[in-house]
Amino acid sequence: MTLIPSILSVPPSPGVTARCAEARAIVLSNMPVNGEYRLLTLDAPAEVLDCAPGQFFQLLCPVPEGEHPFLRRPMSIYGYDAHAEQLQFLYKIAGAGTRGLATLRAGDTLNVLGPLGQGFTMPDAWQNLMLVARGVGLATLAPLARMAQQQGRSLTAICSARSPELAMSVDLFRSYGAEVIVVHDEDGSSEVPALEALIEARIAAGSVDAFYTCGSRRLLTMLQRLGQKHGIPGEIAMEQQMACGLGMCQACVRPFREGNEVVHRRVCREGPVFPISEAIA
Amino acid sequence: MTLIPSILSVPPSPGVTARCAEARAIVLSNMPVNGEYRLLTLDAPAEVLDCAPGQFFQLLCPVPEGEHPFLRRPMSIYGYDAHAEQLQFLYKIAGAGTRGLATLRAGDTLNVLGPLGQGFTMPDAWQNLMLVARGVGLATLAPLARMAQQQGRSLTAICSARSPELAMSVDLFRSYGAEVIVVHDEDGSSEVPALEALIEARIAAGSVDAFYTCGSRRLLTMLQRLGQKHGIPGEIAMEQQMACGLGMCQACVRPFREGNEVVHRRVCREGPVFPISEAIA
Amino acid sequence: MSTSDLSVKVGELTFANPIMPASGTFSEDLSDVFDLDVLGAHVLKTIMHGKRAGNPTPRVCDLQGGMLNAIGIPSKGIDDFRDRMLPYWSDYKAPLVVSISAHSMDEFARLAAEVSLPGVAAIEANISCPNIEADGNAFAMRPDTTAEVMRRLRAETDLPLWAKLTPNTGEPVAVALAAEAEGADAIVTANTALGMSIDVRTRQPRLGNVMGGMSGPAVKPIALRMTYQCAHACRVPVIGCGGIATLDDVLEFLIAGAAAVQVGTATFQSPTVMARLIAELSDWMQAQGVTSLGEIIGSVQIPGGEAA
Amino acid sequence: MSTSDLSVKVGELTFANPIMPASGTFSEDLSDVFDLDVLGAHVLKTIMHGKRAGNPTPRVCDLQGGMLNAIGIPSKGIDDFRDRMLPYWSDYKAPLVVSISAHSMDEFARLAAEVSLPGVAAIEANISCPNIEADGNAFAMRPDTTAEVMRRLRAETDLPLWAKLTPNTGEPVAVALAAEAEGADAIVTANTALGMSIDVRTRQPRLGNVMGGMSGPAVKPIALRMTYQCAHACRVPVIGCGGIATLDDVLEFLIAGAAAVQVGTATFQSPTVMARLIAELSDWMQAQGVTSLGEIIGSVQIPGGEAA
Ligand SMILES: Cc1cc2nc3c(=O)[nH]c(=O)nc-3n(C[C@H](O)[C@H](O)[C@H](O)COP(=O)(O)OP(=O)(O)OC[C@H]3O[C@@H](n4cnc5c(N)ncnc54)[C@H](O)[C@@H]3O)c2cc1C
Ligand SMILES: Cc1cc2nc3c(=O)[nH]c(=O)nc-3n(C[C@H](O)[C@H](O)[C@H](O)COP(=O)(O)OP(=O)(O)OC[C@H]3O[C@@H](n4cnc5c(N)ncnc54)[C@H](O)[C@@H]3O)c2cc1C
Ligand SMILES: Cc1cc2nc3c(=O)[nH]c(=O)nc-3n(C[C@H](O)[C@H](O)[C@H](O)COP(=O)(O)O)c2cc1C
Ligand SMILES: Cc1cc2nc3c(=O)[nH]c(=O)nc-3n(C[C@H](O)[C@H](O)[C@H](O)COP(=O)(O)O)c2cc1C
Ligand code: FES
Ligand code: FES
């Protein structure tokens, strides 16, 4: 990071409540979870807390010693609470930016930009929801569990991980009333054939109206196959390298199927959540 | 600063004790002195503490928020104690680098390079010394007072300042047995005519064998005039923009009189201390 | 309390203040963050005549003090511009600058005619995009191709016509003079510098397009040098662009001779930066007692007169 | 424990490791800090035939991620080189590379002959210094002047002859090919990029010479791009230079195709950096099981084969 702006109040667009804002948040805690992940809890102003599950923020990461993250880093909203003015991110240390995030201590400030993008939808027809994800993807899907509970839907969360202990957000999902199934690499239950059989059984039992997933190509291809076969719709949160996060720069495009055409859509603006049927793995 | 190197031990030149080294020092304290200045006290390894008064270090300043000092900043040695493994700098906040220095807190590390350059000399013929300086220049001359005491010389320190309270290092000079005369702008005693008359009177009293000074053009011109008139030699510590501080880049040259010629000398290598008679104001 | 006059003239156009976005780093989406009418002008992403997909991803990567991009010019074409974008931007008071580009002189000229519509205040000719042709080739690499393309554009439009230069040329002043001679009303210095970055773990270039354009604070000294060179060589105004992120950066370009400035990459770090710069510039003028930016523009003090 | 083989070949010369200093950022003074014989080679500050003072001060200023310099070429002339410097450097095992420059082709050719002495391993022709001629002009700005000067130099010396390129040209590949065609044994990419910086408080340029050469991490993507372009176009080896400060930087240039690298500005931030890079490279090779740098050099993976 090379410019740490001091945020002055800037004029909002006339007659429009700003959809997102650049704000200074205060770190409440930043703790390791599960060895590989960290949970960052921020005290954030109300103006950035009108969030929807599946939306994300662009974080201006602190500069770790000897490294120079320059662009902001996109992070899904893991938790938000407008009342308590709290905002949470669950992240995995990957490179310079996330190493910078890991240096944050309680009391530090962090410049955040958000909420950004289009979150998950939950049409009335989708009463029985199935969520399938792995790794950090489970962070992105976490707020969906609360949304499902609030809207009175039934949710099954299939959490995939290398080993049972590394499965993320299991307790969180349960606390929102979801049924949790952990699959993992050690017993092979996370492999596509096993997983597909598991889901087929659920579908046969008549309990899946829609899928939610995230990131992984393997899972996407499988869910597209199942979705097409059984006419089950669903949504996926996707990732792409970003610069602006707002829709201005066209950095973050991915190809999507639109009828017979392939079109580019911006992950930051039209996404990060897209219909599973239109995504291209 | 963009690269904070982790200093590995590197091979010394064969048969040579390194004249200077890049080392990691630990901040013991960093305190305001006198409103305008700050005193930085470091715990430094012995390898960088074989210093002489007038030598300097190149400090890799921390990055203050929103600024980007890149090159090291030269700072005269204010105090050094090989036994106690301590090193001190007295600095004035001028820009990005010194603002970075001001952020240092006890326990922080600071990458220092030194000692650099040629310090003051004190030939036997120079028994009665007169030091004339102003502002941060007095920091550069401070270690000279101890050297004078150790070598049994008599020292008169004329400390010039905007107002009497802002005169630097007065107590330090006194503690090393110097006679201190404070001149200042408020009563006009720091102006050249008044100062020159003061020094002329001392010369007339027979008590000046050599001058030491620092930086200021005005003082240099005056001391050159007095020196030439009365045959009094002396030394001046000079400043110039630097890059390497070691003599490699030729950034820091200044013109000097050498007989009838004007030659360029490197402030970092041949200096920062030069004969007053050869300096060009 | 009297507020300072931040207005600047760029040729025949007057802007309420000298801060405008750089092409490709701005869109209507920024209105989510602040009122875009505070800006001196609106400069749109370069459009090309037809529909284009742009370059493969990854299209951006970050650097020490900047970034690389190889977006290419994904374009929805002239129809989308006329039918959707122009009406949208016409609702704003800030003048609209439309950036255009093309592979061939013919197509470029045709596009200039097509975008010369009511509601368009000026055309910025992007003759400098390093991401369209291989190895960063562009019309603005050479004075002769610059002259030819500007002559063709000039013949097709009566709107103020700006020529956007590239730092990748070895002869920026000759290119600027060629553009001026063929009727450019302003020179924009500059587009991105051709660069590359490799991920040492995968050994792959960090951009899908292998090379890309460098922007951000790292290129500022190069863009400032070009701004100074062109402002001293040309009679038409020069608009500074490259690495501007702070009030000091804005002042540095104005002092070097820029009549206005464009802010690009800084908006990615801080989407509110342009609004903030306008407020800071106003405060600074008031604090310094500067009543008009004419006192600042081109006020660089060269020791011993002109530079060698 | 077997140590890795860090040696590299640059034309006929073999260096114990690929790390050498960049001209102008190195001198005997660095022996105060570490044993200079650990270096792959010694590259001296450019010398010119006669005595020269260099440019007015301030000669350097710092930037975000780099610095500007307008040192010029203060030179003690050829006699000082022969009588004082050459004997000093002859005591080291590391091969000596002598950088030379001149205003005219004649003077350049004469100097090449004069420095072709026992103890000199190679001549680096600095045909790219932006600080000698006004506005950064230099022979390496154009293929034709490059060809002519290299032909003249080639005629005067049998020593390996390196051509140091400039990032300020719009046609680096054509310049590299011109140098190669006229007998250059290696290409060095690159010298500094012409830049400028203004102190907004005094409104004066921050360099006495107004403009100067930019170096340091900020220019790395440009130098890396040139290294890649030249390594792919030329048969002779390319030596990377520009912003190298870390082990990853060294690897990035080697992967792009550099046979060796030069480290300049980083030495100002950390005078021990070259010794450290050698140690780190050796450790890295061992950890990765890389036995020879031939496995790394030019190993960049271009998606879908060659770049456009
Ligand atoms: C919409 C969205 C939501 C995300 N949510 C989360 C989350 O909740 N938790 C989490 O741990 N990670 C999440 N990611 C991935 C996260 O953005 C990257 O891990 C992070 O940017 C890596 O930065 P770095 O500097 O640590 O790593 P580096 O690898 O050094 O990053 C280099 C560059 O690549 C980009 N980059 C690296 N990985 C990705 C990626 N997977 N997607 C997009 N850009 C990437 C970085 O932003 C940076 O610009 C999300 C990504 C997107 C696009
Ligand atoms: C040999 C020597 C000894 C010094 N000793 C002291 C000391 O003991 N205490 C003290 O407060 N100051 C001292 N100075 C001056 C000190 O180096 C500068 O004040 C400091 O570098 C300013 O850096 P900055 O980033 O805060 O200011 P900026 O003005 O932002 O610096 C910009 C650039 O100019 C250079 N610069 C600025 N002022 C000077 C100067 N006077 N001399 C040389 N370069 C300068 C900086 O190093 C930097 O590269 C000394 C200078 C030299 C050459
Ligand atoms: C992501 C991105 C896209 C860009 N697209 C365009 C473009 O379409 N047309 C153009 O003329 N310049 C384009 N540019 C260049 C900018 O307008 C500007 O000239 C350059 O980035 C330097 O300014 P900066 O450092 O403030 O970003 C683009 C720059 C970036 C970073
Ligand atoms: C202070 C300074 C002086 C330089 N002098 C020379 C020189 O005399 N001859 C030359 O060919 N290059 C000279 N250079 C350029 C460097 O050799 C190198 O090409 C450039 O700085 C880029 O590398 P870096 O980023 O590692 O410094 C100089 C660079 C600096 C910073
Ligand atoms: S990141 Fe800029 S458009 Fe999506
Ligand atoms: S600062 Fe490099 S020679 Fe003095």
pLDDT for C259 equals: 98
Domain boundaries, chain D: 8-295
pLDDT exceeds 70 at position D1: no
Give the pairing type, strands C211-215 and C66-69.
Answer: antiparallel
pLDDT exceeds 90 at position C303: no
Average the pLDDT over each of D68-77, D150-159, D259-268 and give the range with the smallest value.
D68-77
Mean pLDDT of D234-250: 98
Are the CB atoms for B2 and D269 separated by under 8 Å? yes
pLDDT for A2 equals: 41
pLDDT for C1 equals: 46
pLDDT for A15 equals: 62
pLDDT band at B130 (very low <50, low <70, confident <90, very high): very high
Rg, C-alpha atoms of chain B: 19
Tens digit of each residue's pLDDT (9 = 90 or more) over D181-232: 999 999 999 999 999 999 999 999 999 999 999 999 999 999 999 999 999 9
Please state, in angstroms and rounded to a whole number, the distance separating the CA atoms of residues D6 and D14: 10
Give the number of other CB atoms < 10 A from CB of residue C302: 14
Per the annotation, the verdict on D61 as an active-site residue is no
pLDDT band at D78 (very low <50, low <70, confident <90, very high): very high
Atom 8, ligand 2: which residue's CA is nearest? B76
Subunit contact D64:A66, Cβ cutoff 8 A: no
Mean pLDDT of B115-122: 96
Nearest alpha carbon to residue C48 among C120, C108, C4, C6: C108
- CATH code of the domain occupying C8-295: 3.20.20.70
Find out whether the beta carbon of A214 lies less than 6 Å from any atom of ligand 5.
Answer: no
Share of chain C above pLDDT 70, in %: 96
Please state, in angstroms and rounded to a whole number, the distance separating the CA atoms of residues D225 and C190: 19
Subunit contact A18:C32, Cβ cutoff 8 A: yes
Higher confidence at residue C191 or residue B164?
Answer: C191
Cα–Cα distance list, D274 to B181, D36, D146, D173 (Å): 49, 9, 31, 29
pLDDT exceeds 90 at position D35: yes
Nearest alpha carbon to residue B103 among B74, B68, B64: B64
pLDDT for B164 equals: 86
Which partners does chain D have (≥3 C-beta pairs < 8 Å)?
Answer: A, B, C
Cα–Cα distance list, C151 to C39, C110, C125, C154 (Å): 30, 13, 12, 5
The answer to whether D264 is a known ligand-binding residue is yes
Tens digit of each residue's pLDDT (9 = 90 or more) over C212-271: 999 999 999 999 999 999 999 999 999 999 999 999 999 999 999 999 999 999 999 999
The answer to whether D46 is a known ligand-binding residue is yes
Subunit contact D33:B3, Cβ cutoff 8 A: no
pLDDT for C308 equals: 38
Share of chain D above pLDDT 90, in %: 90
A63 close contact with C: CB closer than 8 A: no
Report the amino acid identity of residue B184: H
Please state, in angstroms and rounded to a whole number, the distance separating the CA atoms of residues A146 and A153: 10
CA dihedral D14, D17, D19, D25 (to 10 degrees): -60
Report the amino acid identity of residue C203: R
Please state, in angstroms and rounded to a whole number, the distance separating the CA atoms of residues B132 and B135: 11
Residues 6 or more apart whose CB falls under 8 angstroms from that of B107 comprise: B26, B27
pLDDT for B17 equals: 62
Model's pTM, two decimal places? Answer: 0.96
* Domains of chain A, CATH where assigned: 2-116 (2.40.30.10), 128-236 (3.40.50.80)
pLDDT exceeds 90 at position A6: no
Mean pLDDT of D3-23: 95
ipTM of this predicted structure: 0.96
pLDDT exceeds 80 at position B2: no
Are the CB atoms for A56 and A114 separated by under 8 Å? yes
First to last CA, chain C: 44
Subunit contact B65:A4, Cβ cutoff 8 A: yes
Which one from C61, C129, C230, C241 is the annotated catalytic residue?
A: C129
Find out whether the beta carbon of A249 lies less than 6 Å from any atom of ligand 5.
Answer: yes
Protein residues whose CB sits closer than 6 Å to any atom of ligand 3: A 243, 249; C 22-25, 45-46, 69, 71, 73, 99, 126, 129, 164, 191-192, 215-216, 219, 241-244, 263-266
pLDDT exceeds 70 at position C37: yes
pLDDT for C90 equals: 96
Cα–Cα distance list, A80 to A43, A56, A154 (Å): 10, 11, 21
DSSP string for C180-236: HHTT-SEEEE--PEEEE-EETTTTEESSTTSEEEEESGGGHHHHHHHHHHHHHH-SS
The answer to whether D265 is a known ligand-binding residue is yes
pLDDT for B21 equals: 93
Grouping H, G, I as helix, E, B as strand and the rest as coil, residue B153 is coil
Find out whether the beta carbon of B116 lies less than 6 Å from any atom of ligand 6.
Answer: no
